[in-house]
Structure 1
Amino acid sequence: MQHIKYSIDTDGVAFITWDVANSPVNIMNEATIMEFFTAVDKATTDDSVNGIIINSAKRDFISGGDLKWFLNYEESKEACFEMLMKTHRSMRQLELSTKPVVATINGLALGGGLEIALACNYRIMTNHPKNRIGLVECSVGLFPGAGGTQRFLRMLGARKSIEYITQSRKLTAEQALKDKLVNELCSPEEDITALAKAWILKHPEVKQPWDEKRFVVPGTPNGIGQVSGVNEFYSVSNAMAYKTTHGNMPNIKNVLSALYHGSSTGIDKALEVEARYFVDTLFRKETKNIIRASFIFIGDAARGKAKPKGFEPVSYQKIGVLGAGMMGAGIAYVSAKAGLDVVLKDVSLEGAERGKGYASKIEQSKIEKGRSTQEKSSAILEHIIPSESVNDLKDCDLIIEAVFENEQLKNTVTKETEAVIKPEVIYASNTSTIPISTLAKASSKPDKFIGLHFFSPVDKMPLVEVIVGKETSDETLAAAIDYVTKIRKVPIVVNDGRGFFTSRVFGKFVNEGITMLTEGIPPAVIENVAKKIGMPVGPLAISDEVNLKLMLDIMSEDPSLTDFEKELEKTISTIVHTHKRPGKKEGRGFYEYPKGAKKYIWEEWSRIYPTVEDYDEEEIGRRLLFAMVIDSYKCLDSGVLNDPRDADIGSILGLGFPVHTGGVMSYIDYIGAQEFRDYAAILANKHGERFQLPASLLERIEKAGSQRVYYKN
């Protein structure tokens, strides 16, 4: 066997050791799981075997299923169901053998890896700070399909099972022990194998709790799910899930169904129930989209796949951040977390100290929540060096400018800084709207000038747009991507242009929302439909956050506004100057922001823009999404983006575009290319040329026919 090692020691203990060939981690796929089944059959049918230890030859136990295998799965639903049932039969063979089986969890045990451990009679976990266990399949659109839902249910009860599975919770060793998901902890220095053998020798014959005749699922005393409060709990959970997902995530609904129906029957029938719901989930288009976007595309980008070939990795030690406002302070913080020394410069030392204070507040909050320690936080904060002197930047390996969004100010700072830094040092601007090639004119080395557009709040938002100017060299781009991956952010490469990709495209979402308000569509409807289609926030609320006054300033500097955008500019100007409602900062925008109370939509909008009754919710949702999708395609068509995958990554991580659609480019195939074309024509006829599809996209759709426009799966 290539991936599973099998041996028996002198005490009759069989070792089934995961050691997947040509892989840094143990993953479950068709090849590895079949070898595992073979080893299980050997161990359970061999009379000379007294006990079984399932362990790993790698740093971690088992990292879970191979998502590329699931993404490219082309067998029938029937074949998939039989594959799952074969998995269940093998795991049950392990459980029903009466031979003691121990899982020695030396590192991560996630997804299917934990499910294998759950089928063992005893679990020992190394108590290392980085070690975690969890059923994390929901985070990639799936749910546990190797018995995880039913064994969690029988160990934890419904409430914790729903919470842990739907939230993809990763538990530390201490948490896992407290929840009795593991039975024993050992230190990294202890011999985990010796502990496992000792337990086996003391327990020559065992039985799983759920195979006892009197076993009932925790929380259901009569075992049939009819106890007062149990059905109500599932109903409430279903309602809460719908409130969060709006029915867009079939995997979450199927988790709840599998748990509910599995609670009223024995383990074997329950595993069959799980298998049927898993098959339904795997074959949903939403599942494929989430796996492709969140695991394949984003995973590749996070590893720096966009880096130009032929350049050695750049190692950074000390960087300079110019501007200690919220963005600069956030950039300094994430860089310090990655172990880099950071000179945080502001016009005054007091301002720079406030920027460091921002990082201190984040760390203090983590300490209070038990997610960090004073020692760890102090080590991070020591990396941040507040300064008011440009001379303190002379030894930096990289400069990131994050001053106010004003071209003249940025140019002044560029010249001042380049006068003291080394010639080979890269200079990056955290601009969100001003073209990099324009800013690079103030630089004496435009080939070393690049854009790094972070998103707010920097410590939470994973995306960074790496913006290439006309003279930016490939060497500079490669080094910039090395920095972004070093600080554990996800880079996408964007060519220069006003608004770049995310700011430009997100503007279409906001513009459409404001336009619909002026048409008389109730603001609450606009906001709620936006959330219903999967956007995290409505266009009016985000406009208040961004600030309409700032939006006006940006529009006034853009010479390429369309007639539609010029009319919108007039509307926004009226809202700001006539109605005095610029946004959240001033406490008055599309919403009211009373002190100490929850915000609410300003009641006078219906007087200013009389409400209409004949609106179509589907059309509202599609207008919001189509506006972004069409402009994203224009970014690809014009060369602002090089790859549709970057559009999908950027839209999900930077814009909050619904992940179940796969992103802005995948959305075309999500609803069907022909339907997308036809509906866009309806919108264009009704609302204007902004919904007209470019000729090249119409040609692409025509050529694709019944096939997908962009990705095979």
Structure 2
Amino acid sequence: MNTPELSHFNTQVDADGIAWITFDQHASAVNTLSTAVLAELEMLTSWMEQSTLTGAVLRSGKPGGFIAGADVREFETFTDPAQLSAGLQQVHALFERLERLAYPLIAAIHGYCLGGGLELALACHGRIAVDDARTKLGFPEVKLGLFPGFGGTGRSVALSGGVAAMTAMLSGKSYSARQARGLGWVDRCVATPDRLAWTARKMINRGVPRRTPRLTHRLMALPGVRHLLAEQMRKKTAAKVNPTHYPAPFALIDLYRQHGANPQRMRTVETAAFPPLMVSRTSQSLRRLFFASEALKADAEPFDGLKRVHVIGAGVMGGDIAAWCALSGFEVTLQDLDAGAVDRAVERAQQLFAKRARRQPARDNVRARLIADPEGNGIANADLIIEAVVEREDVKQALFRDLEARAKPSAVLASNTSSIALARISRAMDDPSRLVGVHFFNPVAQLPLVEVIHDAGTDAAVVERARGFVVAIRKYPLVVKSGPGFLVNRVLGPYMLDALRRVDEGESIDVIDAAAVAFGMPMGPVELADTVGLDICLAVATELGIEAPADGRLRQHVAAGNLGSKTGQGYLSWTQGKVARTLPAGDAELGGALLKPLVDECERCLSEGVVASADEIDIGVIMGTGFAPFLGGPLNARHLEII
């Protein structure tokens, strides 16, 4: 049987009449549903409609995954909502043709299957997935200010029921193969990729399992129940994000409320509801940030030979860095002068391991990789040594002078300093070129950014190895020139200290924080200061040359040992790392005024070359401070004349 000759698809038909369609996008490391790929898929669909086959299997030729989604790079070319709607209708028609094939079409999934890739898989008659850690299925569109646009709304509701499908789309969460099977997205799980073909053949020969809608799904689709569920979804979503700032989840909820009982109608109406979101300022800003975040990891060379990490300092930061490195697959030794601090850090790490390594063998393995080492015996064999001790120049100088003598010559020496210039820390070292900064943010498990700090004396190869390490632990490395406060703390300092000045002058803490939240920040500057630690705030102020009044509340709190969330008391009262408060309605205009010192400092950082570009400042400040993502970052907000 003649098969079509295409650039992105290779098709072979075996003796049983099964077409094995391998999607291997030309000149791309990953498979995406670009315009060119969809055009070829349409040609391939026409061939399948005219062919006499017993079945077809769609699989990936990429080792890393199935399909990463639509080609986000092409989104910028769609500026006319009417043209975009017409294009979506073409894709919908194409996927419906695949659904109507007279024989089974099976998606054989390994690795990532996201966004448009999952929508294509759901249009197939059956789906098989490899049950390993690399396989992830989900709808991440909400993170770009969108929702599924290739029919995924209705198809996921039909398969999973309204609550589960909407939860998946509203959260942007990725699911394992086993979880996806529970959702109805996957029909069969296999242990290894080499089992995909055999299982697909068996499914074609025996028939795709038929799924009948559960009674609970049918009940939840009833108008009264569905409308109540939609209202609950709206309230929960509104508690997390402002509908003015992030319209996509609320538009999706409206779509479900109106059409959730008719999945076919839901996905038809999707083509009209999607385009306004695509051209919105929110989606444009979030897409810009997506590209900026990917650029941080681009071209990062792996840290060859990195197996052992030694962390010195078992406080909150050091202990959490050690735990995260162990979770990321490295053998980690944790040192502190206080052996009890090491024990407490190891104990605290178990909570993280329980959340992230859910299966018992994996949890046991990661526990075994975190080793209490009060004496520092791991220094001699470590490939990377991270210092996370008290923020004092003399202490750090003495420590690195000792490390230089004890560590193997190839080891990278790194400081988690939050504000002290590298040149001052390395003053006592014989070879300062070995020292690099790897500045994590608190809480380590949640914040994705790590500043990789360098100065004129840092070896470029050491900087690249530090970048490789950060990527290996699934964080984003932002290369920053050494200087007071680096980037994030430098721009946060004026913002937080100006807010604390306002408190000293009698302004309400709740009014200040509510204004920042109304503007789009995840928390107010006073709560943020407590979260960072008031001692850190004061140290950063000193480094930046910002005067903290001797009679001000900041110095009073620090002198009394009330350092914020880590001590339970600061400007606010904390219980187990949380503060109980209900903020009043905030004034967004005041919020913009509060953030002006931060944006002004960002502009100074750009002019001084602290980082390479405005994009890097915007993504760094968003990841490091939570600055309103829907505005595309502080410099983009200034460009839009919002601040």
TM over 0.5: yes
Determine which of 137, 154, 159 is the counterpart of 2:158.
154
Determine which of 27, 31, 41 is the counterpart of 1:26.
31
What's 1:341 paired with? Answer: 331
What's 2:246 paired with? Answer: 249
Of 462-471 and 82-91, the range deviating more from structure 2: 462-471
Q: Any idea what SS the aligned residue of 2:146 has?
A: coil
**Equivalent pair of 2:110/2:193 in contact (CA under 8 Å):** no
Q: Any idea what SS the aligned residue of 1:245 has?
A: coil
Residue 386 (structure 2) pairs with residue 405 (structure 1): no
Determine which of 295, 299, 319 is the counterpart of 2:294.
299
User: How big is each residue's C-alpha offset from its partner over 1:617-666, in whole Å with a ceiling of 9 and x where there is no partner?
Assistant: 13211023322121111111123223222212211211111111222222
Looking at structure 2, the residues matched to 169 and 191 of structure 1 have their Cα atoms a distance apart, in angstroms, of 26
Pairwise CA distance, 1:513: 2.7
Residue 147 (structure 2) pairs with residue 143 (structure 1): yes
**Equivalent pair of 2:514/2:587 in contact (CA under 8 Å):** no
Q: Any idea what SS the aligned residue of 1:647 has?
A: helix
Structure 1 unpaired stretches of 5+: 603-612, 680-713
What's 2:401 paired with? Answer: 415
Structure 1 residues 78 and 660, CA, compared in 2 at 3 Å: closer, same or farther? same
Pairwise CA distance, 1:593: 4.2
Of 48-57 and 243-252, the range deviating more from structure 2: 48-57
Q: Give 1:359's aligned amino acid.
A: A
**Equivalent pair of 1:16/1:39 in contact (CA under 8 Å):** no
Pairwise CA distance, 1:83: 1.0
Q: Any idea what SS the aligned residue of 1:467 has?
A: strand
What's 1:641 paired with? Answer: 611
Q: Any idea what SS the aligned residue of 1:536 has?
A: coil
What's 1:692 paired with? Answer: none
Q: Any idea what SS the aligned residue of 1:6 has?
A: strand
Looking at structure 2, the residues matched to 459 and 207 of structure 1 have their Cα atoms a distance apart, in angstroms, of 41
**Equivalent pair of 1:302/1:491 in contact (CA under 8 Å):** yes
Determine which of 508, 516, 521 is the counterpart of 1:530.
516
Query: Could you tell me the percent identity over the aligned residues?
Result: 27
Pairwise CA distance, 1:35: 0.7
For 1:323-334, what aligned pairs fall within 5 Å after superposition?
323-334=313-324
Of 495-504 and 352-361, the range deviating more from structure 2: 352-361
Pairwise CA distance, 1:170: 2.0
Pairwise CA distance, 1:376: 2.1
Looking at structure 1, the residues matched to 123 and 371 of structure 2 have their Cα atoms a distance apart, in angstroms, of 51
Looking at structure 2, the residues matched to 281 and 601 of structure 1 have their Cα atoms a distance apart, in angstroms, of 31
Looking at structure 1, the residues matched to 409 and 210 of structure 2 have their Cα atoms a distance apart, in angstroms, of 70
For 1:226-265, what aligned pairs fall within 5 Å after superposition?
226=223, 228-247=224-243, 248-263=245-260, 265=262
User: How big is each residue's C-alpha offset from its partner over 1:103-147, in whole Å with a ceiling of 9 and x where there is no partner?
Assistant: 222443211111112112222223334322222222333221110
Pairwise CA distance, 1:151: 0.8
Looking at structure 1, the residues matched to 517 and 297 of structure 2 have their Cα atoms a distance apart, in angstroms, of 27
**Equivalent pair of 1:64/1:113 in contact (CA under 8 Å):** yes
Looking at structure 2, the residues matched to 179 and 595 of structure 1 have their Cα atoms a distance apart, in angstroms, of 34
Pairwise CA distance, 1:396: 2.7
Pairwise CA distance, 1:84: 0.5
Residue 380 (structure 2) pairs with residue 394 (structure 1): yes
Structure 1 residues 497 and 203, CA, compared in 2 at 3 Å: closer, same or farther? closer
Determine which of 120, 126, 136 is the counterpart of 2:124.
120
What's 2:476 paired with? Answer: 490
Pairwise CA distance, 1:581: 6.4
Looking at structure 2, the residues matched to 587 and 411 of structure 1 have their Cα atoms a distance apart, in angstroms, of 31
Pairwise CA distance, 1:592: 3.3
Structure 1 residues 96 and 483, CA, compared in 2 at 3 Å: closer, same or farther? closer
What's 1:275 paired with? Answer: 271
Looking at structure 1, the residues matched to 283 and 271 of structure 2 have their Cα atoms a distance apart, in angstroms, of 16
Pairwise CA distance, 1:164: 0.8
Residue 32 (structure 2) pairs with residue 62 (structure 1): no
Pairwise CA distance, 1:3: 0.5
Structure 1 residues 410 and 21, CA, compared in 2 at 3 Å: closer, same or farther? same
Q: Give 2:393's aligned amino acid.
A: E
**Equivalent pair of 2:572/2:579 in contact (CA under 8 Å):** no
Structure 1 residues 297 and 277, CA, compared in 2 at 3 Å: closer, same or farther? same
**Equivalent pair of 1:523/1:601 in contact (CA under 8 Å):** no
What's 1:624 paired with? Answer: 594
Structure 1 residues 590 and 324, CA, compared in 2 at 3 Å: closer, same or farther? closer
**Equivalent pair of 1:8/1:15 in contact (CA under 8 Å):** yes
Pairwise CA distance, 1:290: 1.1
**Equivalent pair of 2:145/2:248 in contact (CA under 8 Å):** yes
For 1:459-478, what aligned pairs fall within 5 Å after superposition?
459-478=445-464
Pairwise CA distance, 1:440: 1.4
Looking at structure 2, the residues matched to 466 and 39 of structure 1 have their Cα atoms a distance apart, in angstroms, of 47
Structure 1 residues 639 and 406, CA, compared in 2 at 3 Å: closer, same or farther? same
Looking at structure 2, the residues matched to 62 and 581 of structure 1 have their Cα atoms a distance apart, in angstroms, of 51
Pairwise CA distance, 1:79: 1.7
Q: Any idea what SS the aligned residue of 2:617 has?
A: helix
What's 1:572 paired with? Answer: 553
Q: Any idea what SS the aligned residue of 1:61 has?
A: strand
Q: Any idea what SS the aligned residue of 2:175 has?
A: coil
Pairwise CA distance, 1:392: 4.7
RMSD: 3.2
Pairwise CA distance, 1:419: 2.6
Of 375-384 and 445-454, the range deviating more from structure 2: 375-384
What's 1:605 paired with? Answer: none
Determine which of 72, 94, 98 is the counterpart of 1:94.
98
TM-score (norm 2): 0.90
Pairwise CA distance, 1:404: 0.8
**Equivalent pair of 1:51/1:101 in contact (CA under 8 Å):** yes
Pairwise CA distance, 1:148: 0.4
What's 2:3 paired with? Answer: none
Looking at structure 1, the residues matched to 308 and 390 of structure 2 have their Cα atoms a distance apart, in angstroms, of 23
What's 1:663 paired with? Answer: 633
How many residues get paired?
A: 636
What's 1:696 paired with? Answer: none
Determine which of 600, 624, 628 is the counterpart of 1:654.
624
Structure 1 residues 577 and 559, CA, compared in 2 at 3 Å: closer, same or farther? closer
**Equivalent pair of 1:304/1:491 in contact (CA under 8 Å):** no
Looking at structure 2, the residues matched to 390 and 492 of structure 1 have their Cα atoms a distance apart, in angstroms, of 29
What's 1:599 paired with? Answer: 580
Work out which of the two has the higher radius of gyration on C-alpha atoms and give 1 or 2: 1
Structure 1 residues 17 and 575, CA, compared in 2 at 3 Å: closer, same or farther? same
Q: Any idea what SS the aligned residue of 2:185 has?
A: coil
Looking at structure 1, the residues matched to 53 and 563 of structure 2 have their Cα atoms a distance apart, in angstroms, of 75
TM-score (norm 1): 0.81
**Equivalent pair of 1:344/1:385 in contact (CA under 8 Å):** yes
Looking at structure 1, the residues matched to 595 and 586 of structure 2 have their Cα atoms a distance apart, in angstroms, of 15
Looking at structure 2, the residues matched to 359 and 216 of structure 1 have their Cα atoms a distance apart, in angstroms, of 42
**Equivalent pair of 2:420/2:543 in contact (CA under 8 Å):** no
Structure 1 residues 202 and 375, CA, compared in 2 at 3 Å: closer, same or farther? closer
Structure 1 residues 82 and 350, CA, compared in 2 at 3 Å: closer, same or farther? same
Pairwise CA distance, 1:242: 2.0
Residue 499 (structure 2) pairs with residue 502 (structure 1): no
Q: Give 1:620's aligned amino acid.
A: L
Q: Give 2:431's aligned amino acid.
A: K
Pairwise CA distance, 1:246: 0.9
**Equivalent pair of 2:230/2:256 in contact (CA under 8 Å):** no
What's 1:200 paired with? Answer: 204
**Equivalent pair of 1:592/1:600 in contact (CA under 8 Å):** no
Looking at structure 2, the residues matched to 597 and 271 of structure 1 have their Cα atoms a distance apart, in angstroms, of 41
**Equivalent pair of 1:98/1:207 in contact (CA under 8 Å):** no
